[in-house]
Amino acid sequence: MTNETEYNKTLILIVDDNQQNLKVLGNILRENTKYGLAFAMNGFEALDFISTTKPDMVLLDVMMPDMDGYEVCRQIKKDPKTANIPVIFITAKTEAEDAVLGFEAGGVDYISKPFHETELLMRIRTHLDLKLSRDMLEEKNRELQGAYETIEKLALTDSLTGLANRRSIMNQLAVEVSRCDRNGGFFSLIMCDIDFFKRVNDTYGHDTGDYVLRNVADVMRANLRQQDIVSRWGGEEFLIMLPLTELEKAVSVAEKLREAIKSTEMSFAGENFRVTMTFGVSGYDKGMGIEHSIKKADDALYTGKQTGRNKVVMAE
Q: Which residues are catalytic?
A: 236
- Going by C-beta distance under 8 Å and a sequence separation of 6 or more, which residues neighbour residue 200? 194, 208, 209, 212, 273, 275
As a whole number of angstroms, the distance between CA 232 and CA 230 comes to 7
Q: How far is CA 280 from CA 251, 253, 283, 310, 313, in A?
A: 9, 11, 11, 11, 5
As a whole number of angstroms, the distance between CA 237 and CA 239 comes to 7
- Going by C-beta distance under 8 Å and a sequence separation of 6 or more, which residues neighbour residue 176? 187, 241, 243, 284
Q: Which residues pair with 237 in a beta bridge?
A: 193, 234
- Going by C-beta distance under 8 Å and a sequence separation of 6 or more, which residues neighbour residue 16? 22, 25, 41, 61, 64, 90
CA dihedral sign of residues 123, 128, 133, 138: positive
Q: Which residues pair with 14 in a beta bridge?
A: 39, 59
- Going by C-beta distance under 8 Å and a sequence separation of 6 or more, which residues neighbour residue 281? 188, 189, 190, 191, 247, 250, 251, 254, 297, 300, 312, 313, 314, 315
Amino acid identity, residue 141? Answer: N
Is there a contact between 188 and 242 (Cβ–Cβ < 8 Å)?
yes
Q: Convert 189-204 to b/e letters by CB count within 10 Å (16 or more is b).
A: bbbbbbbebeebbeeb
Amino acid identity, residue 98? Answer: D
Amino acid identity, residue 227? Answer: Q
